[in-house]
Amino acid sequence: MPYPAGVSPSSLRIALLGCGVVGSQVARLLRDNADELEQRCGARLELIGALVQDPTKPRDGIPASLLTADADEVLQSGAPDIVVELIGGIEPARSLLLRAIAAGASVVTANKALLAHDGATVHDAAAQQGVDVAFEASVAGAIPLLRPLKESLAGDRVDRVLGIVNGTTNYILTRMDEAGVSYADALREAQDLGYAEADPTADVEGHDAAAKAAILASLAFHTRVRLEDVAVRGISHLTAADIAAARAMSHVIKLLAVAERSDDGGIGVRVAPAMVPLTHPLASVREAYNAVFVEARAAGQLMFYGRGAGGAPTASAVLGDIVSLARNRVLGGRDPGESAYAQLPISDPGSARSRHYLSIAVQDRTGVLAKVASTLADHGVSIETLRQDGRGADAVLTIVTHSSSAAEIKATVAKLRALDEVRDVASVMQVVGD
Amino acid sequence: MPYPAGVSPSSLRIALLGCGVVGSQVARLLRDNADELEQRCGARLELIGALVQDPTKPRDGIPASLLTADADEVLQSGAPDIVVELIGGIEPARSLLLRAIAAGASVVTANKALLAHDGATVHDAAAQQGVDVAFEASVAGAIPLLRPLKESLAGDRVDRVLGIVNGTTNYILTRMDEAGVSYADALREAQDLGYAEADPTADVEGHDAAAKAAILASLAFHTRVRLEDVAVRGISHLTAADIAAARAMSHVIKLLAVAERSDDGGIGVRVAPAMVPLTHPLASVREAYNAVFVEARAAGQLMFYGRGAGGAPTASAVLGDIVSLARNRVLGGRDPGESAYAQLPISDPGSARSRHYLSIAVQDRTGVLAKVASTLADHGVSIETLRQDGRGADAVLTIVTHSSSAAEIKATVAKLRALDEVRDVASVMQVVGD
């Protein structure tokens, strides 16, 4: 329970749920920075316990006496003021968070999967109980992002968010671009470096980024956005030819999480590889770094850049949340939690408008270009730039369109593929503006 | 006065002090976004008046009835909950802010000069009165920066802050680098575009950046840092040759505000042009954009990027502060205001360690290089890279040193200048690491 008005606690009790790489770092920072944290919070932060599966397994820098497999011990007898959930996944994380909230604790979570899948349950429970939920670490690790979106831009109107929010895929794309290696080799490198899992599906197919896109969209547009609202395409189909084509156009390919206002008054949320001009701030975000680019009506273009993963960076974000919730316990007040008053409709992914890049393999014979061009025109798709390169009996047409809807492009591509003269539409990608 | 516990106001009274470009935009956003702001604050935000010198002069989008030259009318009879100071300069801004605070209002200010010169007076008054002071717009305009530093990084330890915080000089340096124009021509362009004042001294000599450096250093290191603690060097002495030398080394010259922990346990704060490697995120910050790069112990490298000036961007930052203080009025709680518990000593500027770039014009004759090299060695300065270019009877030595203190470099340069063989030490600049 929050302390009654006028009563300031001299210490606050912190409990961890889960204690892996991030949890150990949180515990370390709580200990190493104890004096500074006390100054910043107005109360001593005391780690009272950590719920783990196997309490006999020693954890870096946490006394064995604090480890327990007994949730009651941590959440009930421990009477924590702040509970930090670092288990991940839907269950048992959700049930444990709900128990913590019901017991009056404010909660910090880095759990993007739970928030994107069923954040509403957690937010509603916290609102009913009058406690805080903070989740800075759930998107883009160490980058202070959610708090700026919620607080600093609270007087502005966000139009668009473009994020590089998955370090694994950004590492792979950086290596393909800079070292010219194949997708398969770049993936192997990422696995060797520990950036990618043995089963890289969640990263390379865009599912991890999609959960973060849902959370970002919710915050930016004051609307509940769930994972299933996000249209997703990954990077596993990208080839060296795509990378080379981007480079020839002074662009670079990035896997972007996009959330934007649509013409129909709704919001579109998607994850897909896109071509980014080299002059765009997102183009220089290399290797495993993350960055989120925000376009707001009054503020203009903003970008937030930093490490998106890793024990210490994620722990830094968790600690920032802990300090904020601790200050609220000491001084009263509440964090700006979920804000979903706008409840904008989710737009049909087909309505998303953008310039598009098309790579079309055609037979190199008279009249082909006219046929392709008229197919585009028939679908209302106009051409910004076109390049034709001969390849023996074939040719490759590289086209960048003016702004068109995804649906128009999809119909155009289907029609192109049906043409005898077209061998293949090898690649279709959105192109970000300058 | 804050509302008593349990009493939530249905509307909050906002007063503006000063109503120029930023003030008009703040008034516009308060009107245009009124419904959204009410949802976000939990109370209606009502603009009750604007203090201006000449109330007969019409202002964009503000009813004439709200304009007044009478401070009493705004600060006393108006009984504002939140007072927004946009006058700038020390007086009368300080006196008016103190009156507002004494009357129980929370205050928002964009006044970097006042905060850097005498922030303590304002912060102390607010602390005594139990009201908030917010000042996001005072550094780097629209970029959410102070709130992330104060809140998101509250559990971490900042080691260094490097900021491009003056758009005018960044525009000039960008033009010198990209278009090869001279300093004088680039300055004239900046003046034509309205980026630079007719008297550009405050920008080009680094004074504007120095005030922001003081504010950033205060926040990052929980220490009161004043303008006079900042060592300042501007860009007016830079030549096309410096820019070319930087480019030849794959670097670019930026005017950086630097605040960092020193080896002696204190903090060093300075503004000076520095060479930034092209691979560094700050290198791609072009034209009038601002960016602040932060190195924190756990979070690692972070960067915040956006517009540093302009009516609408600055108003966005002011509105974010207004919403935050309004929420505190509605829900209780306090903003993390000034935090100066650490009170670290300010280090001697001579103790600042860095790699250095030296450009030395010498007579092209036998033994010169040995003499220069031994002069460096005598002062404990070791050489990382050296390049010699012939220029007729003369030669230019371009040297990058390993990390040395500013004092060592200064003594070395004085000794070099005294050598017969040295025509001039044309340029000395710090070099930022990768």
A268-300: pLDDT as tens digits: 999 999 999 998 999 999 999 999 999 999 999
> Quick check: A323 and B155 CB within 8 A?
yes
Mean pLDDT over each residue of chain A, to the nearest integer: 93
For A299, the token pair is: 């503020």
Q: Are residues A289 and A358 in the same domain?
A: no
Min distance A246 CA to chain B CA atoms (Å): 19
Residue A59 and residue A162 in one domain: no
Spatial distance between the Cα atoms of B99 and B77, rounded to a whole number of angstroms = 13
- pLDDT tens, A159-208? 999 999 999 999 999 999 999 999 999 999 999 999 999 999 999 999 99
pLDDT in tens, chain B (434 residues): 455 555 567 899 999 999 999 999 999 999 999 998 998 888 999 999 999 999 999 888 789 999 999 999 999 888 999 999 999 999 999 999 999 999 999 999 999 999 999 999 999 999 999 999 999 999 988 898 888 888 888 889 999 999 999 999 999 999 999 999 999 999 999 999 999 999 999 999 999 999 999 999 999 999 999 999 999 999 999 999 999 999 999 999 999 999 999 988 999 999 999 999 998 999 999 999 999 999 999 999 999 999 988 899 999 999 999 999 999 999 887 887 788 888 999 999 999 999 999 999 999 888 899 999 999 999 999 999 999 988 788 899 999 999 999 999 999 999 999 999 999 999 999 999 86
Nearest C-alpha of chain A: how many angstroms from B151?
Answer: 6
Instruction: Name which of A5, A153, A222 is nearest B144 (Cβ-Cβ).
Output: A153
Distance from the A420 Cα atom to the nearest Cα atom in chain B, whole angstroms: 46
| Shared-domain flag, residues B384 and B295 | no
B295 and B151 part of one domain: yes
Please state, as a whole number, how many other Cβ atoms lie within 10 Å of the Cβ of residue A1. Answer: 12
Q: A191 with A302, same domain?
A: yes
| Nearest CB partner across the interface for B37, out of A136, A155, A281 | A155
The answer to the question of residue B385 being in a domain is yes
On chain B, the residues whose CB falls within 8 A of the CB of A288 are none
Task: Give me the residue from B36, B154, B281 closest to A284, CB to CB.
Answer: B281
Output DSSP code: residue A346. B
**Do A91 and A22 share a structural domain?**
yes
Determine the pLDDT at residue A346.
96
Domain shared by A319 and A251, yes or no: no
**B303 plus B367 within the same structural domain:** no
Cross-strand bridge partners of residue B251: B277
pTM as predicted: 0.92
Asked if the model's pLDDT at residue A101 lies above 70, the reply is: yes
CA A309 to chain centroid: 11
B2 falls within a domain: no
Please count the residue pairs, one from chain A and one from chain B, whose beta carbons lie less than 8 angstroms apart.
Answer: 213
Q: Which of B302, B303, B312 sits opposite A298 (nearest CB)?
A: B312
Cα angle, residue A14 at apex, residues A101 and A116 outer, rounded to 5° = 45
Asked if A410 is an active-site residue, the reply is: no
Sign of the CA dihedral running B130, B334, A101, A124: positive
**B284, B333, B342: residue with CB nearest A281:** B284
* Same domain, yes or no: A303 and A178: yes
Nearest to A302 among B306, B318, B336 (CB): B306
Does the beta-carbon distance from A33 to B155 stay under 8 Å?
Answer: yes
Q: What three-state secondary structure class fits A352?
A: coil
pLDDT of residue A167: 95
What range defines the domain where residue B400 resides? Answer: 352-431
Could you tell me if A138 and A156 lie in one domain?
no
Q: Confirm or reject contact between A331 and chain B (CB < 8 A).
A: yes
The pLDDT-based confidence of A4 (bands split at 50, 70, 90) is low
Collapse the DSSP code of A150 into the 3-class scheme (helix H, G, I; strand E, B; otherwise coil) and give the result: helix
What is the CATH number for B248? 3.30.360.10
Q: Which residues of A touch B156 (CB under 8 A)?
A: 29, 33, 316, 319-320
**Chain A: closest CA distance from residue B392 (Å):** 39
Residue A345 lies in a domain: no
- Cβ contacts of A148 on chain B, cutoff 8 Å: 144, 147-148, 152
Helix, strand or coil for residue B353? strand
Active site residues of B: 212
pLDDT digits (tens, 9 = 90+) for B349-369: 999 999 999 999 999 888 899
Please report the residues numbered 28 through 57 in chain B whose beta carbons come closer than 8 angstroms to any beta carbon of chain A: 29, 33, 36-37, 39-40
Is the model's pLDDT at A2 over the cut of 60?
A: no
Inter-chain residue contact B320 with A151, CB threshold 8 Å: yes
CB-CB neighbors (< 8 A) of B155 in chain A = 29, 33, 37, 40, 315-316, 318-320, 322-323
At A74, the pLDDT band (50, 70, 90 cuts) reads: very high
Residue where the block lists tokens 């209002």: B105
| pLDDT for the residue numbered B5 | 53
pLDDT at A334 over 90: no
pLDDT tens profile A111-155: 999 999 999 999 999 999 999 999 999 998 889 888 888 888 888
**Would you state the pLDDT for residue A3?**
56
Residues A189 and A319 in one domain: no
**Is residue B386 within 8 Å of B297, Cβ to Cβ?**
no
**Tokens 């504010």 found at:** B215
> What's the pLDDT tens digit per position in A337-382?
788 888 999 999 999 999 999 999 999 888 899 999 999 999 999 9
Element (H or E) spanning B400, and its range? strand B394-401
Tell me, yes or no, whether A258 lies in a domain.
Answer: yes
List A57, A112, A150, A212, catalytic entry:
A212
Supply the CATH number for residue A23's domain.
3.40.50.720
**Cis status, amide bond into B92, omega within 30 of 0:** yes
* CB proximity under 8 Å: B 109-148 to A: 136, 142-144, 147-148
Structure tokens at B135: 């000042």
| Domains: count for chain A | 3
* pLDDT of res. B198: 92
In a domain, A337, yes or no: no
Q: Are residues B361 and B407 in the same domain?
A: yes
Please name the amino acid found at residue B236.
Answer: S
CA distance B13 to chain A (A): 16
> Reduced to 3 states, what is the DSSP secondary structure of residue B196?
coil
Residue A4 forms part of a structural domain: no
Find where tokens 């949320």 sit: A269
Position A277, amino acid? P
Residues on chain A touching B250 (C-beta within 8 angstroms): none
Which B residues, 352 through 411, put their C-beta within 8 Å of a C-beta on chain A?
none
What is the interface pTM, i.e. ipTM, of the complex?
0.90
CA distance A39 to A355: 51
Is A340 domain-assigned? no
A223 at B interface, C-beta within 8 A: no
pLDDT on residue A149: 87
